Each structure stands twice: as C-alpha cells, then as structure tokens.
Structure 1
Amino acid sequence: MNIYLDNAATTAIDSEVLNAMMPYLYRYYGNPSSNHSLGRKVHEAIETSRKTIADILNVFPEEIFFTSGATEANNWAITSSLDAYRIKHIITSPIEHKSILETYTEHFYKNKIKLSFVNLDKKGNVNLGHLTKLLSENPRSLVSLMHVNNEIGNITNLEEVSEIAKTYRAVVHSDTVQSLGKIQLNLGTNGVDFAVGSAHKIHGPKGIGFLFARKRTTLNTLLHGGGQERGYRGGTENVASIVGFAKALEIADQNIEKNKKHLAFLKERLIGSLLKLGLDDFEFNGESDSLTNSLPNILNARFPSLPDNKLLLNILDEQGIQVSSGSACLNLSKGGSHVISSLYPKSDGENVRFSFSKYNSLFEIDTTARAIARAFRSEKRKIVVNELSYVHA
C-alpha cells in the first residue's frame, strides 16, 4: 500500500503533462536560440507556453520569466527590489518560506537592511493594522508576504496588502507557489509587483518555475552570458519542462472548482475522523481546519507525544502512508518547523501536515485515519499494561 499525503512538498506528474513534454525531449531537440527551423519551432513552444501561463494569470507574456524554480525566483525578485529601488527596509512575517527568510537575513547582516516582522494573530493571520503602522513609519519598503502558507494553508488577502502598501509607495512581493492552480490567482488585478510559481506543486515537472515581474518594475539581470529571457537570465532554456509547466497550469485552471470541491471533501473527512479520536492535547494548527480561510488541500495537526520518543510520522511511513512534519526544505536542514515554533513556541507533541491532491481518494483518507487511531490505541494499551505490571510488582 502506498498513500501519498505530502502534496504540498511535491506532486506526481500528470500523464497529460508528460505526454506534452515528450516530443521536446527526443523529437524537437533543437536549441531555441538557433536560427534554423528546428530551433525556431522550439523557441515558438517556449513563447506559446509563456502566453498560456500569462493568459491564465491575467498578465502580459513579457511579465513572465522562466527560472529553475520558486527559490530562484524569490531570490531574484528580492535582490532586484533592494538593488533597483535602493530599499533599506523589509517587512515580512516569521512564517514565510525559508527561501525568503534566509535571503532577507543575508541582506540584514551583509547589507545592513532593516528588517521588520509584521504581527500575526494566534492563528497565523497577518495583522493589517500593524502592517499599516510599519509602513507609515517606513515608507518605500519591500513588503513580502506569501499568498498561502505552505505548512498551515493560511490564505492572505493580497489585494488588501497591496492596497495598503501602495499608499506608502512600497514594493510588494508574494510567494504564490501554493495558491497557483489551486485557488483563483489574478496577478493582473491583485496589485503585487513580484510573484513566483513552481510547476512541481501542480503535477508538473521539477526544476522549472517562473518569476512574474510587473511591467512597471525594474528587474536586475540574474545570469549573464546569453540573450535568453529577454537578456535577464542567460542559459539554454529547459524547453520540455517549460512546456510541461504550461500544460500543468492549463489542466489545473480548467479543473480548479472541481478539484477544490474534491480536496475540501477529503479535508473535511479527515478533520471529522481525527476529532472523533478524542485525543488529549490534540488541535489543528493555524487556520488549516477552516474550509474558507485556508487552502483546501492542507491540514496541519498537533498530536500528543507517543511514548519512547516514537513519531507518528514514522509509524505511518512504515505502513506506506507518507505525510510530513513541515516544509520539505526543513527536512534537509534537520530543523523543526519554524512556522509552528513561531505560532506555538510553548507547544509539545508532534505536528503533522497532511496535504492532498486530485489523485487522493476517500478510501486513502479513511485508511490514514484508521492507522492513526491504531497507533494511539496501541500505545495507550502499552501504557496501561506497564502501569498494571508496576502495581503488581
């Protein structure tokens, strides 16, 4: 049995996406910068893909720049903003993705950029009043707030953030990786200056992302050595993956309401099943148990600790059920979740993120719930037996 519930980390590639990519891996292999028929055909595929993505997001094709992924795009947007606009103050939150927080920390120490963290409520929502105060004291700042948090699923209203920011001539950057293809994302009207996306979160290939940079913004050259991406990012393009990205977003956009309904159904089912367990010291993190304030495919819960330092994550993994303790990037750094520790600094127990996709079924959700119930019933019995043995002795 294999039940994959870590889709916020990455997703299985869609067969339609793979089929769209295959011709550009073995038949149309020309260099898109070459001035012959095969090169021109490949170049046309890139520009068609760029237009497809731009149309879905309601922006101009020339505002979309392909990158190796969202981490690169976040770094590019941040560095460009600080350099081009000579910004000396950054406003962000403590629960942003590491590609944002670590980049800001680097600028804070090396370039002496002032860094402020906007207040969050106990559920992890941005305090817009505090954001306004920070901007009034530090106009012409860079505001960087993600659209959907990758661990707790909280949705930030980018329109409200942008409206406040523009009052103080601030530049707005948002990590839109988790919201792309899952909820409506209109970059043409939501007011952000920079946004990023990644294909592998929406059943596309790994290693391809984009940076959206609004026409009015100034963008630094990221990679020198070629005229690719209109001279801003040199290097031969990852053609097959670009085609795959466009196809993945097209499929997601066409099925967005259908998928939202399916994912919300799975999420509601798991919420109900976990609550029925009646576990002590159990609760949901952030807004993740809300069907309106969080992404439908993310549920993050804090479970009571199991005896002998056992982890529920490992118990489930042994049964072929893959879940997460947080962002996949955190697993590489061997650290705990900075999102959970920021919101619940004194909490005990084990935090587990379940994240669903269109490929998950009700059977898989119910099977996961039963596996969790067995884990806690089993450990509870062991505790009772041990206590009885001790009394008898």
Structure 2
Amino acid sequence: MSAPAEVAVYLDHAATTPVDPAVAEAMAACLRDDGVFGNPASSGHAWGRAAAGRVERARAAVAALINAPVEGVHFTSGATESINTAILGVTRFAMARDRGGHVITGATEHSATLAACRRLEQEGAQVTYLAPDTDGRVTAEAVAAALRDDTVLVSLMHVNNETGVIQPIEAVGRHLRDHAAVFHVDAAQSAGLLPLDVAMGIDLLSLSAHKFYGPKGAGVLYVRQQPRLRLDPLFYGGEQEGGLRPGTVPVHQVVGMGEAAELVVRRQEADHAHLQALTIRLLDGLQALDGVIVNGTGPRCPHILNVSFVGVHGESLALALRGPGVSVGSACTSALATPSHVLRAMGVPDALALASFRFSPGRGTTGDDVDAVLNMAADALEQQRRRSTIWAAFRAGATIDSLYRGGTRVA
C-alpha cells in the first residue's frame, strides 16, 4: 500500500526506516520452501544446519558493526526487549545475591529504560535519575558523582531519540573502569551513523534493526563475555541465544538484521555525510522563518533535528503541516497530549515542548524533499501566526523567557 496522499515527504526515520531492498530480498529467501526456512535448532538435518549458518552469519555482521566478539551478540525482538533484559537482568541478579541494588540513568532516556527502572524501584531497587544540562547532555562527571558502593548498573542512551543529542559514552566508560557497576548503552539511534565499539567500556549494548533499514521485530543485546557478565533472563523455556532469549529464532528477521548491518557498515561515512548536509540545509531554512528554537544544541547525530516554533499551538500546527511525515515529539510518546519528558528535563517550557517537531531525514531523502518541507512549513507557520498574540509580542521584542517562563502559555 502506498503512503497517504497528504504525506509527500517522509522525515521520520528516527521512528522507523523502510527496509532496504537487499534486506527484503535476503529475508524472502528465508521464508519460501525453496529457501532457508528451517529451524536453526534442528541440527540433525540440512535444512536446520543451513538456517543455523545464516543466523551465525548475521551474528557476525552485527558483531562487526559494534566491534564485539561474536559470542556476545544475542538476538531479541528489538531494542525494547534488549533494554529490559539488560536493566532488569543485571539488577535482579545482583539484588538476589545482596551485591547491591542502585541504578543510575538519565532523566531523558527512552521510555523503555525509564519504565524498567520504575519496575525495579517497585522491587526494592534505588534509581538515580540524572538531570541533563540545557543541551540535553548528562555529563560523565555527573555519573561519577552519583556512583555508590552499591551501584550495580549505569544505563545511558548513546543518542537521544527526540533531540539527537550525543551522550559522552566513552567518557562515562572511562569513569566506570575502576568501579564494579555494569555499563549498559542504548545504541538504537546511533547504529550505522556513529562509530560503535564495545571497547569504549560498554558491558551491555542494545540495538534495533528497524532503525537502520532492517526489519521490525529484530534486535540485539550484546553481553560482555570476558569476564563473563551474568544476568537473569526475562523468559524461560529454552537455551536459544545463550539462554537469554528462549524460543525458535526467527531466521528471516535475524537474517534481515544481519544484511542491514552489513550495509550500514559499508555506507556509514556516506550516510553520515548525506544526512549531515540535509540537516544543515533544513536547519538553515527553518531558522530563516524566525522564531525557531533548536532543542539540544550540543553535538547531535546527523539524522535528528528537534525544534520548537514560537507563537503557535503544536497540535494546530501539526494539523496545518500535513505534507511531511514528521513527529510531534517522538513516535513513542506523540500519541499522548502531554509535553515530552525529554524536553521538560532540559527545561523547555511546556508550551514550547508541545510545539516541538522532530525532523528526521534518511538515506533516500533529497535536497528537493527538504526544500518542499521548508515551503510547507513556511505556509503553515504564516497561517498559524496570523492571530497569535504570542507571535505579535515576540515580533515586538518580547523575550522567550517573558513569553513562556511564567507558566504554560499557548499561542
């Protein structure tokens, strides 16, 4: 089915990417009766052995993406499962053996991380939620200051899914070298665009295939092997994936993730440069419209740009801006009529958070696509700002603080 007619340009690749044609072809070959459709656990016949071989090739491809030993790569259903397995698995294992129960994470983490941490609090763990600076970064020094003798886990995302801000993962890893705490990194948004190396001090790392042109329903949890890291699984019933993810391995999805990993390794530099140029072009064009605030001005991954528009109501602007496929906030929370927890933690006023939009170009986006979106945004903003008292006051010289810091304000 083709995209709806009103969606002319897709700029929501941080939410999901289309499956690369080569990935789709590799997956299809694992579904047909003349292909590799066997159960990889059935080692007693050729069909099972062929499937197992394809799974191991995919495992090696993902290992190469993050420069990890192959035996540390465990396939899951996606980053959400991987995150939950890492956070719950490590902390529950430690708490059951009286080795500690303190976790450190960021207030701007993905909802999968925050929900897992809240669950741990219900089970008796203590969680420190580090506030970011106004740029959205959690400093390595803040992590070091929060460490305690009973800290068992530090969990941070590499790239924020709403703002694109890059967290100082390598610096955090250095601070943890002399501490027993395990370091988990959510790398769902950075894979294929930024260098990833578990030698940065990373003990656990989560990935999701559909963020880099692979299929939905496939992910990876990397688990440190030397020295071996122990954690409790979420599920029981089989020894697949080292006992961490029992159940029949979905060969077609795993093969698709492996194919996508091979592609992004080859294309990483070209993709990064392409997206960087598009985002700069988009930002320059948006700033020319005036009254545009960038949320997260520190180092950012090149495929995410989050901005708030002064003098508009976010929902009204979203209805007027029907052409491009963009997210109001993030795809994981935009269905909720509440300000983004990420932007709130960064100190963005509620009204500006509700008027925030995430633009996320991808491999197939062109300069003409960006220009078309800019034209649509200019028209929509002009319509929305005509009757806005906030916009009139801003144009007359009022500051953002005077307009928005006194409480929740709308256009």
Q: Secondary structure at the match of 2:333?
A: helix
What is the deviation of 1:367?
0.6
Instruction: Choose which of 364, 370, 373 in structure 2 pairs with 1:368.
Output: 373
Q: Secondary structure at the match of 2:191?
A: coil
TM-score by length of 1: 0.90
| Whole-angstrom CA distance in 2 between matches of 1:324 and 1:275 | 19
Q: Secondary structure at the match of 2:183?
A: strand
CA distances 1:128-168 after superposition (whole Å, capped 9, x unpaired)? 22222111x44533111111100111111212101112322
Conservation of the 8 A alpha-carbon contact between 1:13 and 1:205: yes
Letter in 2 for 1:73: S
Conservation of the 8 A alpha-carbon contact between 1:91 and 1:117: yes
Q: Secondary structure at the match of 2:88?
A: helix
CA distances 1:13-61 after superposition (whole Å, capped 9, x unpaired)? 1101111111101122212122211111011110111112112321111
Instruction: Choose which of 2, 11, 16 in structure 2 pairs with 1:10.
Output: 16
Conservation of the 8 A alpha-carbon contact between 1:88 and 1:114: yes
Percentage identity across aligned positions?
Answer: 34
Partner in structure 2 of residue 338 of structure 1: 341
Matched, 1:33 2:33: no
CA distances 1:327-372 after superposition (whole Å, capped 9, x unpaired)? 2121355543111121125342300000111110101101111111
Conservation of the 8 A alpha-carbon contact between 1:174 and 1:192: yes
What is the root-mean-square deviation in Å for CA atoms of aligned residues? 1.9
Structure 2 regions of 5+ residues with no counterpart?
A: 1-6, 393-411
CA distances 1:91-137 after superposition (whole Å, capped 9, x unpaired)? 111100000001101111x22211112232111111322222111x4
Instruction: Choose which of 102, 107, 110 in structure 2 pairs with 1:94.
Output: 107
Letter in 1 for 2:309: F
| Whole-angstrom CA distance in 2 between matches of 1:348 and 1:382 | 17
Conservation of the 8 A alpha-carbon contact between 1:213 and 1:219: no
| Whole-angstrom CA distance in 1 between matches of 2:91 and 2:237 | 23
Partner in structure 1 of residue 27 of structure 2: 21
Letter in 1 for 2:204: F
Partner in structure 2 of residue 170 of structure 1: 181
Letter in 1 for 2:273: K
Partner in structure 2 of residue 73 of structure 1: 82
Letter in 1 for 2:209: A
Partner in structure 1 of residue 213 of structure 2: 203
What is the deviation of 1:245?
0.4
TM-score by length of 2: 0.86
Q: Relative to structure 1, is the Cα distance of residues 55 and 128 closer, same or farther in structure 2, using a 3 angstrom cutoff? A: closer
Letter in 1 for 2:320: I
Letter in 2 for 1:75: N
Q: Relative to structure 1, is the Cα distance of residues 306 and 334 closer, same or farther in structure 2, using a 3 angstrom cutoff? A: closer
| Whole-angstrom CA distance in 2 between matches of 1:277 and 1:332 | 27
Instruction: Choose which of 251, 262, 282 in structure 2 pairs with 1:270.
Output: 282
Q: Secondary structure at the match of 1:330?
A: coil
What is the deviation of 1:251?
0.7
Letter in 2 for 1:177: A
Letter in 1 for 2:77: S
Structure 1 regions of 5+ residues with no counterpart?
A: 388-393
Q: Relative to structure 1, is the Cα distance of residues 139 and 310 closer, same or farther in structure 2, using a 3 angstrom cutoff? A: closer
Letter in 1 for 2:110: H
| Whole-angstrom CA distance in 2 between matches of 1:32 and 1:115 | 39
| Whole-angstrom CA distance in 2 between matches of 1:251 and 1:355 | 20
Choose 23-32 or 330-339, whichever is displaced more: 330-339
Conservation of the 8 A alpha-carbon contact between 2:317 and 2:384: no
